[in-house]
Amino acid sequence: MEKIYELIIIGAGPAGITAGIYAARKKMDCLVLTVDIGGQTAWSGDVENYTGYQFITGAELASKFEEHIKKYGIEVRENEPVLSLKKEGEIIRVKSSKSEYKAEAVIIASGKKSRELGAQGEKEFKNKGLTYCATCDGPLFSGRDVAVIGGGNSALDAALQLTRIAKKVYIVTKDLSLTADPVMCENAEKTENITILKGCVTKEIFGPRFVEGIKLVCGKTEKVINVQGVFVEIGLVPNSDLANDIDKNNVGEIVINYQTETSLSGVFAAGDVTDVAEKQIIIAAGEGAKAALRAFNYLSRKKMPPKNEKTS
């Protein structure tokens, strides 16, 4: 007989891991399907706003998450992205890249992925000098000149990380001012090996085999900057393609209510894949805890006998 899990959690970032821990504490029969453990947290540089840690790196915090979830012996399957889910009666079918599973309830905590730049040469030079993760790939560019595309928090976080590694860091933003938190902008502006280029659109990444430079359009003029690395940090898009039968907003985020319920009964969602206003590690973790508790409540109600049915 095919196994039916009480709960399947999709994703193992802060939301998914916290949901898994809460599910384990409720003794739920739970499976976690994920690409990796830690999600975007593992990409972060310095984390200074997660309660209990005045300072911790993203990689260290992701390691703490992994250590915590493994303590409970939860069944976690890494390198297994989920492709789709479909509800049939009271059962939800979850199809992954490797298999298909059944569950009574599902929590989608699949997070977000990097937004692509759309410039000429982006696809050709991916992993050949162009990357979307400074934390992952920054050490490969030691002593080189690099460009960070973007002007928000993720871009400045990447740029500040790279100042310790690269010789020169260019921040390229299409806006006329940086949009990151003021403290990050101040740090970037006073860092000697950072040059900020505002109002510039990246037109092309070029080189023979590996990145050798980028072409920019700054107003009415074109500029060429010789760099050996390009880090694209222009925001994220939700990993919500798997949820075709669930309501989403105009940017693809899964719409949830205050109880983390989606438009499909038995399916909950938490973290950056949802339309929750603020995208923060600590908020994702809290939403994951809430989703697990609501899923437990949902399953408990399903198993209760009807009011007119007497129990012995």
User: Which residues are identified as catalytic?
Assistant: 133, 136-137
Is the dihedral angle over the CA atoms 18, 242, 244, 103 positive or is it negative? negative
Rounded to whole angstroms, the Cα distance separating 170 from 65 reads 33
Angle formed by the axes of helices 14-25 and 281-303, to 10°? 40
In which region does residue 259 sit, left (phi positive, over 0), alpha (psi from -120 to 50) or beta (all else)?
alpha
Rounded to whole angstroms, the Cα distance separating 169 from 144 reads 9
The alpha carbon of residue 137 and the mean position of all alpha carbons in its chain are separated, in whole angstroms, by 17
In terms of Cβ atoms closer than 10 Å to its own Cβ (0-12, 13-18, 19+), residue 55 is exposed
CA atoms within 13 A of residue 263's CA, in its CB half-sphere: 12
Instruction: Count Cβ neighbours within 10 Å for each residue of 190-213 and write b for 16 or more, e otherwise.
Output: eeeebebbeebebbebebeeebeb
The answer to whether the CB of 158 falls within 8 A of the CB of 233 is yes
Question: Following DSSP, what letter does each residue of 179-199 receive, concatenated?
Answer: -S-HHHHHHHHT-TTEEEEES
